[in-house]
Chain A
């Protein structure tokens, strides 16, 4: 099975407000898909639809050949860091262990295997030394890596990242992308961001989302599409987007 995620004509509406309109999306195994679009464009909603946290008003979602609810234990989710209470009394290791919740069994305690998985995940993001620190005392980049480790502790086949570079500086961003690129050898990755600079050489497919999905099979992108997505002209060069071979883009029907 090469296609891991498929959305067919998915709509999400809250009352009269349409968040996602007729989304068709196909993600193949080991894709590294970047979805860009403005704030409020429905990026987070799209990820939650794939996770089965939000039920589409219309349309069909298939993940690994099954419903999102059945498949979500194969998905590692890295939410935006902005929605955390920084004072919450929890250590780095506690958070990463939460990635094992679905595996440890209901009402069971974490066992050695769970701890081993958490330690390995922490090591892969180079946060093992800080495992006993309170999450509130971490920098944005460190917290981001902890959330990534939590997602990795689930042993995911698919990784969904929501604005992973929102609150971190440039060198840390590069590190994060190197890390994701490595992970991408075994894991399919979807990353959403409002930051066009994110379209780096690491992503190999790009889609633009603003209520509707303007999908590209490859990462070639033209200014016109971005302007359509953001509904205002965007200075591509100023946002650090490298020049690419431009190609006539086809909107998904």
Chain B
């Protein structure tokens, strides 16, 4: 249980910071595509008998980069690219798992989260990813803000927009891997979206939105864990529903007081 609380907080750090950019840059669907593509990697891990989380890492990064490159280099609509990569990842996962001998343990955990059984070694992985994510966001902060606000001006001002966008997509990929442990592939998008959306209702500074969504997200994972423990419910889904309920409440309050 203590591991679970720490995992929740560490994951909140990543999803608060990256989620803020995802929401203001309107990258929610592309992040959905990246997270579902992770399933292919999970399957590959089962098939070739390595830790599925590393498979997820490979697949999220690969799908993030291909989405970014296809968006820039082809006339395909971003929507369609997302759809295609999304189902490709999922289908590969299903086939790989089907081909793996015997039973696939923890599969349910990868899909819907298994924060309660997170081992210490995973905490270390999450922590390392957190450090990488925070460092990259610190270094690229001005560039991320610029390409989110006005991509054209950023290009004209000399920013390598395409490369910066690929870095951003890779960050989303890393964050997805962090979050898979907590809420699972299916629900990752909730953690990237809901805390940042709530934070955006109360602040117009990106840095503040990052910090607020980190705090809110920590609150949600803690609350959700506690509720799921008391009521004996699935932890990932409980965390998400706590987030959704808070979002509704905050939207209503915001509406009433403005």
Contact = CB atoms under 8 A, between A and B. Distances in A.
A77 B206 contact: no
A89 B209 contact: yes
Residue of A75, A89, A134, A154 most packed against chain B (CB within 10 A): A89
Contact of B145 (A94, A99, A104, A106): A94
B156 A89 contact: no
Residue of B146, B154, B200 most packed against chain A (CB within 10 A): B146
Contact of A88 (B140, B148, B203): B148
A97 B205 CA distance: 15
Given A88-B149, A110-B142, A98 B157 contact: yes
Contacts of B156: 51-53, 72, 75, 77
Nearest to B158: A102
Given A79-B152, A91-B204, 15 more contacts: A48-B152, A53-B155, A77-B152, A79-B150, A79-B153, A84-B149, A88-B149, A89-B200, A89-B206, A90-B206, A91-B205, A97-B142, A102-B158, A106-B143, A154-B157
Interface of B: 24, 139-140, 142-143, 145-146, 148-150, 152-160, 200, 203-206, 209
Contacts of B140: 107
A90 B149 contact: yes
Nearest to B20: A89
A214 B24 CA distance: 42
A101 interface: yes
Contacts of A89: 24, 200, 203-206, 209
B229 to A, nearest CB: 35
Nearest to A136: B204
A145 interface: no
Interface in A119-171: 134, 136, 150, 154
A248 interface: no
A134 B200 CA distance: 13
Interface string A42-73: 00000010011100000000000000000011
B204 A101 contact: no
A19 interface: no
Contacts of A53: 152, 155-156
Nearest to B160: A106
Nearest to A134: B204
Given A89-B203, A89-B206, A101-B157, A95 B149 contact: yes
A109 interface: yes
A136 B150 CA distance: 14
A98 B153 contact: yes
B159 to A, nearest CB: 5
Given A77-B156, A79-B153, A98-B154, A90 B142 contact: no
A52 B160 CA distance: 14
Contacts of A75: 156
Nearest to B206: A89
A109 B206 contact: no
Nearest to A133: B204
A53 B143 CA distance: 18
Contacts of A99: 157
B164 to A, nearest CB: 9
Interface string A82-94: 0010011111001
A97 B143 CA distance: 11
A118 B65 CA distance: 34
Contact of A101 (B24, B159, B206): B159
Contact of B24 (A79, A88, A110, A134): A88
A94 B209 CA distance: 15
B154 A90 contact: no
Given A73-B158, A79-B150, A150-B153, A104 B204 contact: no
B204 A90 contact: yes
Contacts of B158: 72-73, 101-102
Nearest to A89: B204
Contacts of A95: 149
25 contacts: A48-B152, A51-B156, A72-B156, A72-B158, A77-B153, A77-B156, A87-B200, A88-B24, A88-B149, A89-B200, A89-B206, A90-B145, A90-B206, A94-B145, A98-B145, A98-B149, A98-B150, A101-B142, A101-B143, A101-B159, A107-B140, A109-B142, A110-B142, A136-B204, A150-B153
B27 to A, nearest CB: 13
Per CB-CB distance, the 10 closest pairs between chain A and chain B, nearest first, are A102-B158, A134-B204, A101-B157, A89-B204, A102-B157, A77-B156, A107-B139, A98-B146, A89-B206, A51-B156
